Amino acid sequence: MFQVNGLIIISAIFSFIYLLSLNLYPFKLHWLIKGMSIIAIAIYSFFYIPNSFAFIFAVSLLFSACGDMFLAYDGQKFFIQGLISFLISHIIYAYIFFMNSGHFLNDLSVRVFLLVLMLTFFTVMLKVLSQKVGNLKIPVFIYMTALSCMVIASILIKDLNYLLILGALLFVLSDTLLAIQKFINSYKGINYFIWITYYFAQMLLLAGMFKL
């Protein structure tokens, strides 16, 4: 059972400090503060997730933390490195979820609804972004394919795990806001929503791992 302990509190503190630092950007070592909020969760995952996927889930979180630090340190210079880090993270998430898939006929209507909704959304996003990303079209397409596989895999878990599904959907929302900020229009305050949705996505995925 997921329980809050010192590592979760440390993660939340780093996350809150990073959220506050967005007003001060660029804030010295803000990239490290951002990374530590996820590294703390990774350490927690390794020691406390009560199944055989604890280690690989922790590794996935570490890749996410690397992606966070790349993008926070210099999102222009290290965008591809950040994208690759999150790509690997999503592939690992998808692998974990697919390894727990099955009994697709259970809750079939919910699964079909979510699958149709997400496939429609990804199709629209790909069409919109393809006109905005320029030379990054192929990397962005590969990343979105991995992200969509992760979401689909969360929906296909044999016993519907709403924590994992909601975490995956929040990840999509966070990445959508990030894409809007980078490629379409940087709306005032969007950074706050990107971070909040992303952090809660990771926490929900962590909590959902305790139900596998």
pLDDT tens across 66-78, in order?
999 999 998 889 9
C-alpha distances (whole Å) from 157 to each of 83, 100, 161, 208 are: 26, 5, 7, 11
- Show Cβ contacts of residue 144 under 8 Å, excluding neighbours closer than 6 positions: 122, 125, 126, 129
Q: Does some domain include residue 86?
A: yes
Q: Does some domain include residue 22?
A: yes
Average pLDDT over the chain, rounded to an integer: 93
CA atoms within 13 A on the CB side of 16: 6
Q: 199: domain range?
A: 6-209
Residue 134 CB-density burial (10 A; 0-12 exposed, 13-18 middle, 19+ buried): exposed
Q: Does some domain include residue 122?
A: yes
Give the pLDDT of residue 140: 92
Q: Chain-centre distance of CA 128, in angstroms?
A: 21
Q: Does some domain include residue 202?
A: yes
DSSP string, 174-208: HHHHHHIIIII---TTHHHHHHHHHHHHHHHHHHH
Q: Which helix or strand (DSSP H or E) is residue 19 part of?
A: helix 6-21
Give the pLDDT of residue 106: 84
Q: Does some domain include residue 64?
A: yes
pLDDT at 178 over 90: yes
Specify the number of domains making up the chain.
Answer: 1
Give the pLDDT of residue 26: 66
pLDDT, tens digit, for every residue of 180-201? 999 998 888 899 999 999 999 9
Q: Does some domain include residue 1?
A: no
The arithmetic mean of pLDDT across residues 106-124, rounded, is: 93
Q: Does some domain include residue 75?
A: yes
The arithmetic mean of pLDDT across residues 140-148, rounded, is: 94
